Amino acid sequence: LVLVIAVVGLSLSLRTVTANDSAGDQYSSVAKTVIIHNVEVASRDAGIVNDVIVKVGERVDLGVALITLDDAMIARERRIAELNTVIARLDATSDADLLFSRQSHAFKKLQLSKAEEANRKYAGTVTTSELEQLSLDVEQARLSGELAEMNQSIKQKTVELKSEQEAIAQLQMSYRTIRAPIGGTVLEVRKQVGESITAGEVAVRIVNLERLRVVSHLSQQAIDLVSVGDEVTFVPARRSLADKPV
C-alpha cells in the first residue's frame, strides 16, 4: 500500500486524500495540519504597555522580551525593598546589647559572690537587705541577657523577612516584561504602546512551525492495510501527486 496524503497548510481546512494499494483500489481520507505549539502569551501583571519589541511575522527565541510594561513605581518599590534589606543586615551585625548584658550579668554575679564570701569570713559584713539587692541585680541582669538574645534572634529573622520582600519586589519587576515561553514565529500582537493590559490578558500569540501534526481519518478498509511505522508521503493539497512530495 502506498499512502499519499495531501497536506493542507495552516488554514486547517479539510481536504479529501487518496491511497492506492497494489490492486489499484482507491481509498478516500481527510487530512489536516495541526500546529503543535500554538501559544497565547498572557501578561502576569496589569499595567500600561511601555514598549512593543516584536512584530508580526518575526522569529523569536525562547525567553526573549516581547512587550514591556511601565515599571516606574515597581522600580521604586524594589529599591525600597533593597534598602530595607541592607538596613536589617547592618542592624543584625551589631550585637553590642547582647555582649553588654552578658558582661553585666557576669559582673553582678561576681559582686554577689564576693559579698557572700565576705559574710562567710566575717558575719554581718554585708547586710541581708544588701544581699537581697545584689541577688535582685543578678536576676535582672540575667533576664536582660535573655531579652538581648531574643532581640538578636529577631534581628536575624528580620533580615530573612526583608530578603523575602526584596525577592518579591524583584519578581514583580520581572513581571513587567512579557517574554516568549517558546521559540517560534509571532503570529499576532494584540497590544500597542500606551494601551492598558490586565493580569492574564493575552498580549502575543506565538506558533512554532518547525513541527506540525498531520491528522488523517482513514476508512476501516485502509486502516487494515497500514501499520505503525509504515512510510507515508505527504503532498500539499495544491500540488498534484506527480509533484515532489513533502
- Report the pLDDT value the prediction gives residue 123, as an integer from 0 to 100: 87
| Tens-digit pLDDT profile for residues 143-201 | 998 999 999 999 999 999 999 999 999 999 999 999 999 999 999 999 999 999 999 99
Cβ neighbors of 119 (< 8 A, separation 6 or more) are 125, 126, 131
Closest CA to 48 of 217, 176, 165: 176
Residues in the chain, overall count:
246
- Report the pLDDT value the prediction gives residue 25, as an integer from 0 to 100: 47
Are 4 and 15 within 8 A, CB to CB?
A: no
**9 vs 17: CA distance, rounded Å:** 14
Cβ neighbors of 48 (< 8 A, separation 6 or more) are 69, 70, 194, 195, 196, 197
Say what percent of the chain tops pLDDT 90: 58
- Report the pLDDT value the prediction gives residue 20, as an integer from 0 to 100: 46
- Report the pLDDT value the prediction gives residue 14, as an integer from 0 to 100: 35
> 8-12: which pairs have CB atoms within 8 A and are 24 or more residues apart?
8/32, 8/33, 8/236, 8/237, 9/33, 9/236, 9/237, 10/35, 10/207, 10/209
Terminal C-alpha separation, the chain: 18
- Report the pLDDT value the prediction gives residue 24, as an integer from 0 to 100: 45
Are 145 and 98 within 8 A, CB to CB?
A: yes
| Tens-digit pLDDT profile for residues 190-233 | 999 999 999 999 999 999 988 777 777 777 776 777 777 766 66
| Comparison of pLDDT for 28 and 188, the residue scoring more | 188
Closest CA to 118 of 107, 126, 127: 126
Q: Is the pLDDT of residue 10 over 50?
A: no
**How confident is the prediction for the chain on average, in pLDDT?**
83
pLDDT band at 68 (very low <50, low <70, confident <90, very high): very high
- Report the pLDDT value the prediction gives residue 235, as an integer from 0 to 100: 63
| Tens-digit pLDDT profile for residues 119-135 | 988 888 889 999 999 99
State pTM to two decimals: 0.64
- Report the pLDDT value the prediction gives residue 12, as an integer from 0 to 100: 34
**What does residue 160 show for φ and ψ, rounded to 5 degrees?**
-60, -45
Instruction: Output b/e per residue, 58-81; b: 16+ Cβ within 10 A.
Output: eebeeeeebbbbebeebeebbeeb
| Comparison of pLDDT for 15 and 160, the residue scoring more | 160
- Report the pLDDT value the prediction gives residue 223, as an integer from 0 to 100: 73
